[in-house]
């Protein structure tokens, strides 16, 4: 199963939509997609996880890189629409309060 990635820009914010399982097989592709955005460092990033039914520690690690980037820049790195299974993994890792997590894309866009 391959992961699909789409990006959309609105009001200076890039939204990356991921479709598929975010595991050890998919993480390198997703990291390669996100890293240039961090290097450009001129837009905030929202990652839409609505179509991600599964995430493992390599997926979390990829997202933590985004979190670290946002801490070292004035841009936001936000997550939105986590599925219950993905939310559970974040909860076990106690990361729900570490990341900026939003229920809807509209909410994530506000102030991004």
Partner 1 sequence: MAEPIKITIPSDPRYLCVNRRALQQILTLAELPEELTSQLALCVDEACSNVIKYGYEGETNHSIEISYAIDNDVFEVKIRDYGKQCDTSKFQPRCLDDVKPGGLGTFFIHKIMDSVSYCTKREKGTLLTMTKNLKTDMVNQKEEE
Q: Which residues bind partner 1 (CB under 8 A)?
A: 1, 21, 23-25, 54, 56-58, 60-62, 64-65, 67-68, 84-85, 88-89, 92-95, 98
Q: Which is nearer to partner 1, 82 or 89 (CB)?
A: 89
Residue 18's H or E segment, with its range, is strand 13-19
CB of 61 to partner 1, least distance (A): 4
Residue closer to partner 1 by CB (options 43, 87) is 87
3-state helix, strand, coil in the chain (%, to 5): 40, 30, 35
What minimum distance in Å lies between the beta carbon of 8 and partner 1?
26
Please state, in angstroms and rounded to a whole number, the distance separating the CA atoms of residues 52 and 29: 14
């Amino acid at each position: 199963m391959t992961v699909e990635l789409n990006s959309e820009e609105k009001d200076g914010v890039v939204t990356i939509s991921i479709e598929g399982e975010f595991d050890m097989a998919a993480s390198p592709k997703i990291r390669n997609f996100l890293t240039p955005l961090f290097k450009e460092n001129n837009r905030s990033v929202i990652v839409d996880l609505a179509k991600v039914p599964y995430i493992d520690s390599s997926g979390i690690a990829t997202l933590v890189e985004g979190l670290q980037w946002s801490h070292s820049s004035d841009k936001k790195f936000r997550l939105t629409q986590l599925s219950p299974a993905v939310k559970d993994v974040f909860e076990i890792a106690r990361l729900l309060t570490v990341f900026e997590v939003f229920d809807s894309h509209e909410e994530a866009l506000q102030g991004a």
